[in-house]
Amino acid sequence: MNNRVRKFFSYYKPYKKLFFADMGCALVVAGISLALPLLTRQITNTILLETPIPFNQIFIVGAIMAGLACIEFAANFFITYKGHLMGVYMEHDMRNDLFSHYQKLSFSFYDDQKTGILMSRLTNDLFSLSELYHHGPEDVVISLIKFIGAFIILFSINPYLTLIVFATLPPMVIFAYYCNVKMKKAYRQNRKRVGEINARIEDNLSGIRVVKSFANESSEIEKFDIENNNYVNSKRNSYYAMAQFHSGLGAFITFLTVIVVVAGSLFIGNGIIVIGDLITFILYISNFTDPVKKLINFTEQFQEGVTGFERFMEILEIEPDIQDKKDAIDLNDVEGHVLFNNVGFRYNEKSDYVLKNINLDVTPGQYIALVGSSGAGKTTLCSLIPRFYEVSEGSILIDGYDIRDVKMKSLRSKVGIVQQDVYLFTGTILENIRYGKPDATDEEIVQAAKNANAHDFILDLPDGYDTDIGQRGVKLSGGQKQRLAIARVFLKNPPILIFDEATSALDNESEKVVQDSLESLARNRTTFVIAHRLSTIRNAERILVLSEEGIVEQGTHEELLQLNKTYATLYNMQFSK
pLDDT band with cut points at 50, 70 and 90 for residue 405: very high
Domains of the chain: which residue ranges? 3-316, 425-493
pLDDT band at 504 (very low <50, low <70, confident <90, very high): low
Mean pLDDT, the chain, whole residue set:
83
What lies within 8 Å, CB to CB, of 344 at 6+ separation is: 353, 355, 356, 357, 358, 391, 392, 393, 394
Identify the residue with better confidence: 93 or 507.
93
Confidence of residue 78 (pLDDT cuts 50, 70, 90): very high
Q: How confident is the model at residue 20 (pLDDT cuts 50, 70, 90)?
A: very high
Identify the CATH class of 3-316.
mainly alpha
**Distant-in-sequence, close-in-space partners of 502: CB < 8 Å, separation ≥ 6:** 418, 419, 420, 482, 485, 486, 514, 518
Question: Residues of 307-338 as b/e, b for ≥16 C-beta within 10 angstroms?
Answer: bbbebbeebeeeeeebebeeebeebeebebbb
pLDDT reported for residue 338: 92
Greater pLDDT, 215 or 366:
366
> In this predicted model, what pLDDT tens digit does every residue of 165-211 receive, in sequence order?
878 777 877 787 778 778 778 877 887 787 788 778 877 777 776 77
> Which one, of 533, 525, 459, lies nearest residue 490 by Cα?
525
Most confident option among 107-111, 189-193, 463-467? 463-467
Query: Are the CB atoms for 30 and 138 separated by under 8 Å?
Result: no
pLDDT digit string, tens, across residues 248-281: 877 887 888 888 888 888 888 888 888 878 877 8
Using one digit for the tens of pLDDT, what is the confidence trace for 409-448?
Answer: 899 889 888 887 778 888 888 998 998 888 889 999 999 8
pLDDT at 576 over 60: no
The pLDDT of residue 126 is above 60: yes
pLDDT at res. 508: 63
pLDDT of the residue at 340? 92
* Right CATH for 425-493 from 3.40.50.150, 3.40.640.10, 3.20.20.450, 3.40.50.300: 3.40.50.300
